[in-house]
Copies of this chain bind each other. A is one copy, B any other.
Amino acid sequence: AANVGVLSMVVYFFMLVAMYAFLANLIFTLTTHNSIVPEHRITRVMGAIIAAVAGLSYYFIQDYYRHMLADLSALGTEAERQELIRTSYNAIGQYRYMDWAVTTPLLLLKMVSMLRVESSKAKGAITALLLADFFMVLTGYIGEQQLDAAGHILVGPKLFWGAVSTVGYLVVPFVLYRLWNRFKDQAKPIERKSFKIIALSTVTTWGVYPLGYVLSVLDIDMNWIHLSFSVADIINKVGLSVVVYLAGKTLLDE
């Protein structure tokens, strides 16, 4: 810790833990491919992709953070340190968006397939879901780039783009809810239960990200946002994978 502070070191800890958790999830998903019913195997493929992309993304994140820590330890005052943590937050945070561009559509497709939605019968809804999600990620990324020449957040523009992004975000649970109404009767009980859990996560554990986005304009230690995002990523990505595995395994055992 020396003079970078314990919080910074705990953030670094969770970044590496997240990276290892995704590696674990990748191996778990690949090796249990045959322990679940064939209909759900394609969702395991998506799970493997999510794990691999997130793992690589966290490799970049922790690498950037590690270099930042080295610079941090050379700084004399707490004000200088907070300044570096703030400006580097914006550089590190942006890596999450490239990951989300690939992984969040797959998370949504996993949810949809849990309900045995036949893609041919719900083309419009699935397209809307994916477009809204991509719109959310891209406009959020543009919002993250609203910085002045010194690398400080331009509060007004950042919040404006955040509001734009939220429009896409709100479409997601709305479409999922409509799909639920249309297809819930054809799914098996365990699939219904699993769908409910994972679909609800889009308005609960997914909510951590817009919250962090808004809090970033305040004068807080940005390390708290790094920390929450790392923990939320593990829950959202590995958690979903476990739920799908348990459902698919229960169906195979039956």
Contacts and interface: CB of A to CB of B under 8 A. Distances in A.
Interface of A: 1-3, 6, 9-10, 13, 16-17, 20-21, 23-24, 27-28, 30-33, 35, 42, 44-45, 48-49, 52-53, 56-57, 94-95, 97-99, 101-102, 106, 138, 141-142, 145-151
A27 B35 CA distance: 19
A86 to B, nearest CB: 13
A2 B147 contact: yes
A24 B1 contact: no
Given A27-B48, A31-B44, 6 more contacts: A9-B145, A10-B141, A10-B145, A17-B101, A23-B56, A30-B31
Given A2-B147, A28-B45, A21 B102 contact: yes
- Counting from the closest, the 6 A-B pairs by CB-CB distance are A1-B145, A16-B98, A20-B102, A24-B49, A20-B53, A17-B101
A119 to B, nearest CB: 10
Given A17-B101, A20-B98, A53-B20, A31 B31 contact: no
A151 B2 contact: yes
A69 to B, nearest CB: 10
A6 B49 contact: no
Contact of A52 (B23, B52, B149): B23
A27 B9 contact: no
Nearest to A48: B27
B45 A27 contact: yes
B1 A147 contact: yes
Contacts of A45: 27-28, 31-32
